[in-house]
Amino acid sequence: MRDETLQSAARQGYDTGVSGSWGWASPCPLCGAERQHPSRNDPRGAVAVAPSGYAFCMCCRRRVRLGGPEGALPARPVSSVYGLDYPTLSVLAGFYAEHRDRTIYPLYDTEGVERSAVVRLRPGSRIKSMSPPGYSRGGLCFVGADLLEYLRTRETPLRSVLTILEGESDWDAYCRQKDTFCLGIVSGSWTDEWAAAIPYGVRVLIATDLDAAGERYAKYIVRSLENRLRHGTLQVSRWSPPEEFRDSGGTDVREYLSWTAEREAD
């Protein structure tokens, strides 16, 4: 049945992401990332829009969930939620999307345009996450739905606090459990353009990890906002969870949300 589905998909012109006896090789940059270490991406390459079909490759479709501005969602409802053309090539696609071990998270520029993506692998994998080969993700962030609307419309936001998180896992957990007026950064994400794109009058809550790398991110963000802080167009504060959480060894927002939920359940 699987072979028939793949052959049918190939005849319809869809990339199956399968190589082997049929000799097909996926051009999907996300699938390709699985066959090479992410360090082979060109960090100096221009930020470019990844091919429009990169998330629709059947290989990806059968093995990932699509992370979106409201957090990771099962692949099947993505079309109705985001209006994306996400062809259903197999009745098992929804099952694989829910239960396999990959999630795709889109990355956006300061105009709210999706420019690239990151694949997050299951815990314990040799590599935690991967990017499409040949596409730089410098200056790109994970963006929550409410902030994405602001970036695209530049209408005055109703939210007073913008949260900056570190990494796709913290960003995804925060989107699903707290608020979507937020963005997630990774190495190279934060730029002067992002500092200028922060809405006037908001309080920026820097919720990067409570470790050396997280502190470096926080200090870098504060330095980039110094001019705006001096003119009083925004405020900045640092995430400071309870000492009890820190004493338990917790360092990031995702862990904190789980820790809080466990305490509330007791």
Give a yes or no: residue 112 inside a domain: no
Do 172 and 266 fall within a single domain?
Answer: yes
Higher pLDDT, 211 or 24: 211
Do 124 and 152 fall within a single domain?
Answer: no
Do 188 and 210 fall within a single domain?
Answer: yes
How many other CB atoms are found less than 10 A from the CB of residue 261? Answer: 10
Number of domains in the chain: 2
Q: Give the dihedral of Cα atoms 233, 179, 105, 94; nearest 10 deg.
A: -160
How many other CB atoms are found less than 10 A from the CB of residue 210? Answer: 21
105-123: pLDDT as tens digits: 778 899 988 777 776 666 6
> Which domain does 262 fall in, by range?
141-266
pTM above 0.85, yes or no: no
130-142: pLDDT as tens digits: 665 555 678 989 9
Q: What gap in Å lies between CA 36 and CA 11, rounded to an integer?
A: 28
Per-residue burial over 113-140, b = 16 or more CB atoms within 10 Å of its CB, e = otherwise = ebbbbbbbbeeeeeebbbbbbebbbbbb
Q: How far does the chain reach from its first CA to its final CA, in angstroms?
A: 47
Do 180 and 264 fall within a single domain?
Answer: yes
Give a yes or no: residue 151 inside a domain: yes
Which residue is it, tokens 């629709």? 56
